[in-house]
Amino acid sequence: MEARVAAMLEGLAGEQVWLLEHPPLYTGGTSAKADDLLDTPFPVYETGRGGQYTYHGPGQRVGYVMLDLKRRAAPAQPDLRSYVQQLEAWIIATLAEFGIRGELREGRIGVWVVEPSGKESKIAALGIRVKQWVTYHGIALNVSPDLSHYAGIVPCGIKEHGVTSLHALGVNVSMAEVDAALQRQFAHIFG
């Protein structure tokens, strides 16, 4: 990803979005707190992205988004806040295709859902980095991961709320169906 961003900055590569799954692992962003790493049954990687600790693994769709915000904003100035809002809108629109209402919460990063019990749970995380207005890292949407794997961390530093997935909410879709929705909604949100 960093090589791709370097090539973009040199004008040797264009924008790209990678949709992938990782093996089970934890990543720590630039705001990660050591106390939020509770157990380490999986490898832990420190990253340059924003945010705290999160889990990545099978059943989770990770989207690495490499866009040139300067080119996209021209002639106006690039706007990082607007970019984050677009990422959130992308996830929310994708969830809506499956009948799930994704929501934002003041003071909490990511996309949230209200479960039938009334409990709020995080269904998607965001963590980005920007170099000379070229973005990288991105989103993680829980489709059908083993949610018990989050027990090794305090996800995104938030202790009072849990995490969920499309499957945990009763939406049993395939990763291919989620990818197709992500692609459709990306074109709608980002052009």
Mean pLDDT of the chain: 96
pLDDT value at 156 more than 90: no
Mean pLDDT of 125-147: 97
pLDDT value of residue 158: 85
Phi (first) and psi of residue 125, to 5 degrees: -110, 155
For 77, counting Cβ atoms within 10 Å of its Cβ (0-12 exposed, 13-18 middle, 19+ buried), the class is exposed
Contact between 90 and 110 (Cβ < 8 Å): no
User: Is there a domain that residue 165 lies in?
Assistant: yes
Mean pLDDT of 175-187: 98
User: Is there a domain that residue 3 lies in?
Assistant: no
User: Is there a domain that residue 65 lies in?
Assistant: yes
pLDDT value at 10 more than 90: yes
Of the residues 67, 95, 109, 156, only one is catalytic, namely 156
pLDDT value of residue 109: 87
User: Is there a domain that residue 34 lies in?
Assistant: yes
User: Is there a domain that residue 10 lies in?
Assistant: no
Secondary structure (DSSP) of the chain:
-HHHHHHHHTTSS--EEEEE-PPSEEEE-TT--GGGB---SS-EEE-SSSSSEEEE-TTEEEEEEE-BHHHHHTTS---HHHHHHHHHHHHHHHHHTTT---EEETTEEEEEEE-TTS-EEEEEEEEEEEETTEEEEEEEEESS--GGGGGGB-GGG--SSEE--TTTTT----HHHHHHHHHHHHHHHH-
Q: Which range is most confident: 39-53, 107-121, 134-148?
A: 134-148
pLDDT value of residue 53: 94
- Output the domain CATH number for residue 154: 3.30.930.10
User: Is there a domain that residue 5 lies in?
Assistant: no
Largest alpha-carbon pair distance within the chain? 51
Domain count, the chain: 1
d(CA 111, CA 84): 11
User: Is there a domain that residue 6 lies in?
Assistant: no
d(CA 164, CA 22): 18
Q: Is 156 a catalytic residue?
A: yes
Give residue 34's domain range: 15-190
pLDDT value of residue 159: 84
User: Is there a domain that residue 43 lies in?
Assistant: yes
pLDDT value of residue 186: 98
- Cis? peptide before 75, omega within 30° of 0: yes
Mean pLDDT of 72-88: 94
pLDDT value at 111 more than 90: yes
pLDDT value at 101 more than 90: yes
